[in-house]
Structure 1
């Protein structure tokens, strides 16, 4: 089994592609064989620096016999069209988050994949690292008893303080929930299971923002989406997660994620990272104590979800960062914003199984 290698073709050669190329080169069972981009020169530049990788057009990449999985690193608006084109050519697909710009665009992808025996994978795969997976192991072995509540918070004063062209963060499809929410909701579903209902409220501290860096510093632009969203996720298990996502907070001492059970509490590291310290407090010892690593792919980086998917395809097993999970996360995020706008609780139509835990000491080639 260790001799089998799955061919990867990358579509979209922006900045994030360099991170994927670096990490995929270190992972077992996968081999990047081709890259493609609408800007052919960018694909050619990668091919020139990486012997064994050839530059192709997107259509040539979809048709290539040695490409088994198309890794879609295009902009979010192109995620669904590229996924569909690759699957039409008979390829499995894995993409950056989100799965698509909305549920209406994402649902046909899942239906097509199911009808044609194809698999969809989707970032974030940060939850496969030792941070979230150690927290998962602590919960699963009962160290905090029955989980009944959680908190999740992401706050920042705004991306315009550092980004030279930040408008897209404040346009439809942007905002704090859709920007960082995929990391948090994917982690929460991994830890506590799927969500059945959401209730949210939203605000907007400023009608316009000012760019602070780059050649356009000093320019202002309008804010078109809520920039402070808070509310509650009701998990199918009955656990309640209090959520705060904001671009309107200058400073805060808030935990990223905490899980509270009948017998203890758990501090979970940043879900936008693969590792980090997990801390536990219990009824017997109410001081926060660091938990030894108890699960997850050690030393993981972006692309580990692709390798996990490749192994699962070779073995005929489910993969963890899968399309059903990505769709449920998108459904929850979109519903959370809709709940705030409509000023009412909303039921979540989709559901998903918690992905299998990643055991301690696992490799993407073996577990």
Structure 2
């Protein structure tokens, strides 16, 4: 099997697994407990928080451990938007039409139940948000702008530092969903200029069920979960110490290796893209040709069904995806591709391949040849 669905999830790194193992066994205490076992867990949690803060270039107090990217997005957007209600009536939110569902559903909730106005920024045909579009959308009552760092379907990378600077100059807050960027792109929150940033552990070598939300300083953040007041009152619930330890290790290692790994994977991605486009003349690359995640190659194959191509590829030992794993099972065309201007019919032919650092040149060549065979087989059967 050749696994090319790393944007959906990645295997747990051995280093992360070894680091978390003691906190699933002998040091299993509740970090809120005032005894030796609990205090050992609390010390490990503190060390993990400090490690994450070093990786992000922020203070430990700005790091909130969550259950994953979806919760981090929800807490950032709901928390900051509802926190702003202390200053008056509901205001205005800005996001894009190509965000992950965790962002889109959250802003919809704030619109329906709390009266926030929402503007969806358009993108160009390559999936990039234009700075002028953001400038024109900002209003005096804009509370928060949320734009993802990199798209989970086509891999297009957004100019986050520029967009954050425009937002900050207008007096609004800026959040970025950096779930797909984790381990691939720079994450220094000061350089990016963001007020909040979401990450998910299982995208960068930690296990599922752990995530991080960075929130700058003492910004008013309304908690989603109420209870014992853990995470400095921002996120109640017994902390996942083992997950936090694994996350800290995986994040530190992924950032340490980032430059070399990204260059190597991008080279193999480009080889894969070139071969697919040469061998399968009907294939069209989606997303930005250069400003994209190092491991992401997404295509549409007009005249086919993306799901049928996936089945043919799996029979040939190639595991990939038709888009976001979080939208699996939906019969609707990709909202990302339609927002980029593709027709619903073409959008339903999409297939996404996401490489990892362990993807070999031989696997890339075999996968590209398999794409040609799978597409040809589907076309022979009439789509």
Relative to the length of structure 2, the TM-score reads: 0.29
The structure whose residues are more often strand, as a share, is: 1
